[in-house]
Structure 1
Amino acid sequence: MDGGDPVTGAGHVPVMLDRVRELLGPAVLRVSGRAPVYLDGTLGLGGHAEAMLDAHPGLRLIGLDRDTTALDRSARRLARFGDRVTLEHAVYDELPEILDRLGVPHVDAALFDLGVSSPQLDEAERGFAYAQDAPLDMRMDRTQSLTAAEVVNGYPPAELARILREYGEERFAQRIAAAIARERERAPLDSTSRLADLVRTSIPAATRRTGGNPAKRTFQALRIEVNGELDTWRRALPAALGALPVGGRIVVLAYHSLEDRITKRTLVAQAADTTPPGLPVPLPAHEPRFRLLTRGAEVPSETETTTNPRAGSVRLRAAERLREAT
């Protein structure tokens, strides 16, 4: 459940924390002769990172986040761990360059808690939430230029429809895009409430009565477009897997089907034996590089989803490296 200190995030309860620690712990404990390295590719409020640092006194953290506000809060929260903590303002697909610059050849355990963070949702001025009126922003990294307002007011209707259909899985994408195009001719769409109202009136009345707020899928699609989330994740996940040594582990928490699908396909492919069919024995060079640590995607307990509703859509997948790439 989110809460606690609004400045540092202390008191914030991270999603599926016990399971994350259970899965990543063996990768940390197997290391000897050096400090094990834990990568938190989506640091956020630092709750998972704090728990891992507390549980493993010799652990070194490399924490990434594109949100400078999140980094500032995590820095305060994790200050007591001193030089065990290295924080970087970066998107997680920049991982290879960061590790190279830091002189870190491998990370022993890695976590990616994908999607929008609680502070981004809770702070109305960030423009992520359709339930609160705010400027149409949706930038996770407020140092970047592209905003949701620029997408809504500048993209051609056909491109808007594609984004809503592909990233929001919105079946009324064409109708919503056409309504946006008409509305912005009268005046630019610049607020979350105005866009949410427009989406609501653009879809059939019967559809509005089920499935929660009808603007949810549109806001998800715009957020993904503004932040390049799916393309970034397609690059970041292989990079993170490549940074793991034998025995290293990764955990991914995904909150919508698009991210989870990318995760599943990538991990399953790495866990497959690619020996050509018809050969009498598996070829060593084609044996699986990883083993899956979960059977399908794991979901949080009913207790957790009751106390923390934002955990309700999460899907957890994990894997361990078995052999080096050839």
Structure 2
Amino acid sequence: MNDQSGDLPDRAADTAADTAADTAAPPRELDDIHTPILIDRIAELLAPALGAPDAVYVDATLGMAGHALRMLTDHPQLRLIGVDRDPQALQIAGARIHAAGFADRAHLVHAVNDELSAVIADLALRSDGTVNAVLFDLGVSSLQLDRTERGFAYSVDAPLDMRMDPTAPLTAAEVVNTYSVSELVRILRQYGEEKFAPRIASAIDRRRTAAPLASSAELVELIRSSIPAAARRTGGHPGKRTFQALRIEVNDELGTVRRAVPAAMDALAVDGRIVVMSFHSLEDRIVKQEFVARSTSTTPLDLPMDLPGHDPEFRLVTRGMQAPSAAEIVQNPRANSAKLRAAQRIRSAA
């Protein structure tokens, strides 16, 4: 994994007031921010875990603090740990939390969310080292999509960047210009489910031999010319799958989920809850497997009752995967692929 946030001792942990003070001018109006996806359902799922006087809520993908502000409003004694790898998102979140009057209850941390164990231990907000609830809102944020200079969107021309943390070393330009053809094929197939991966990878290789690819428009045109005309007429924008694959590779998104979700579950107090919202099947599969494993007895099947310490640590709160309503998708088309799962700790770890 590429270190996205620097060495752990250098990790920034500030109150929301400090974060807001460091922001000379937020890059967009604070009241011009969309309502987070599935916010009412997420608030409902987390509410039973957040009623304790010393409750701690971890927003592991803070973004612009839409979910966090709802939880702080609903639970007046709640303390927030907000984690994000994107410094710009942390600045906006800090300004919004400060403006809402919640700065004294919020601790914002610049880190990748697979560092949750160390973040929680460093802050030590509860004497037993646990937290009461964790939320993951995975994938690329609206801030990152809407800022064209970040290079996430295939519909506008921008530098090939795609870093969620602009201080991280690996960019999409480096991937397309330095990875071998076989590595590019693997990434496009595995992360983008792109059936024309060999064609696109070969075209990239021919193009970069003449000059490095530098912009999203160059890459989109190359992808378009690599895909048969008949295939271009269906399935949406031809660059969608390649851009998704590059973004996942640049930010090690799947590896981060594999590490972060178990760490979050380990940190939960008894009766604590974890909610994960993902946006493509690869992420959702990782979450489902971890939730099922932790909510299944490890007692051998031929024994009549659970052995001590082998009964499930968690129970599933949602029945399978939940999706947004048709009305919410109409209101916010980005909600279309959202997949929501939740689990609750029912006993301490053995």
TM-score w.r.t. length of structure 2: 0.89
SS across alignment from 1:275: coil
**Is 1:319 aligned to 2:338, yes or no?**
no
Q: Which runs of 5+ in 2 are unaligned?
A: 1-26
From 78, 83, 105, the equivalent of 2:97 is 78
Map 1:298-309 onto structure 2 (within 5 A): 298-309=322-333
Q: How far, CA to CA, are the matches of 1:97 and 1:170 in structure 2?
A: 37
Matching residue of 1:50: 69
Matching residue of 1:87: 108
**Quick check: 1:7–1:73 contact (8 Å CA) kept in 2?**
no
Deviations 1:31-67 (A, max 9, x none): 2xx4200000000010000000000000000000000
Deviation of the 1:10 alpha carbon: 5.4
Task: Flag the 1:9–1:118 CA change in 2: closer, same or farther, 3 A.
Answer: farther
Q: How far, CA to CA, are the matches of 2:213 and 2:130 in structure 1?
A: 46
Q: How far, CA to CA, are the matches of 2:165 and 2:30 in structure 1?
A: 18
Task: Give the partner amino acid of 1:282.
Answer: D
**Is 1:262 aligned to 2:283, yes or no?**
no
SS across alignment from 1:316: strand
Task: Give the partner amino acid of 1:298.
Answer: Q
SS across alignment from 2:76: coil
- Percent identity over paired residues: 59
Q: How far, CA to CA, are the matches of 2:149 and 2:243 in structure 1?
A: 15
Map 1:1-326 onto structure 2 (within 5 A): 6-8=28-30, 11-29=33-51, 31=52, 34-79=53-98, 80-104=101-125, 105-326=129-350
**Quick check: 1:9–1:45 contact (8 Å CA) kept in 2?**
no
Q: How far, CA to CA, are the matches of 1:146 and 1:280 in structure 2?
A: 52
Q: How far, CA to CA, are the matches of 1:81 and 1:204 in structure 2?
A: 54
Q: Which runs of 5+ in 1 are unaligned?
A: none
Q: How far, CA to CA, are the matches of 2:193 and 2:33 in structure 1?
A: 34
Task: Give the partner amino acid of 1:74.
Answer: A
Matching residue of 2:16: none
Deviation of the 1:277 alpha carbon: 1.6
Task: Give the partner amino acid of 1:219.
Answer: F
Deviations 1:239-288 (A, max 9, x none): 00000011000100000111000000000111111110211222231111
Task: Flag the 1:40–1:10 CA change in 2: closer, same or farther, 3 A.
Answer: farther
Q: How far, CA to CA, are the matches of 1:172 and 1:234 in structure 2?
A: 27
**Quick check: 1:130–1:193 contact (8 Å CA) kept in 2?**
yes
Q: How far, CA to CA, are the matches of 2:31 and 2:284 in structure 1?
A: 26
Deviation of the 1:82 alpha carbon: 2.1
Deviation of the 1:9 alpha carbon: 5.7
Deviations 1:132-165 (A, max 9, x none): 0000000000011110000000111111111111
Q: How far, CA to CA, are the matches of 2:107 and 2:28 in structure 1?
A: 22
SS across alignment from 2:41: helix
Deviations 1:271-322 (A, max 9, x none): 1111102112222311111000111100001010001000000000000001
Deviation of the 1:11 alpha carbon: 4.0
Q: How far, CA to CA, are the matches of 2:30 and 2:168 in structure 1?
A: 24
Task: Flag the 1:11–1:173 CA change in 2: closer, same or farther, 3 A.
Answer: closer
Q: How far, CA to CA, are the matches of 1:304 and 1:262 in structure 2?
A: 25
Q: How far, CA to CA, are the matches of 2:112 and 2:276 in structure 1?
A: 16
Task: Give the partner amino acid of 1:71.
Answer: L
RMSD of the alignment, in Å? 1.1
SS across alignment from 2:270: coil
SS across alignment from 2:58: strand
Task: Give the partner amino acid of 1:223.
Answer: R
Task: State how many pairs are aligned.
Answer: 319
Q: How far, CA to CA, are the matches of 2:124 and 2:347 in structure 1?
A: 22
Deviations 1:164-215 (A, max 9, x none): 1111111111111001000111111111011011111111211111110011
Deviation >4 Å, runs of 4+: none
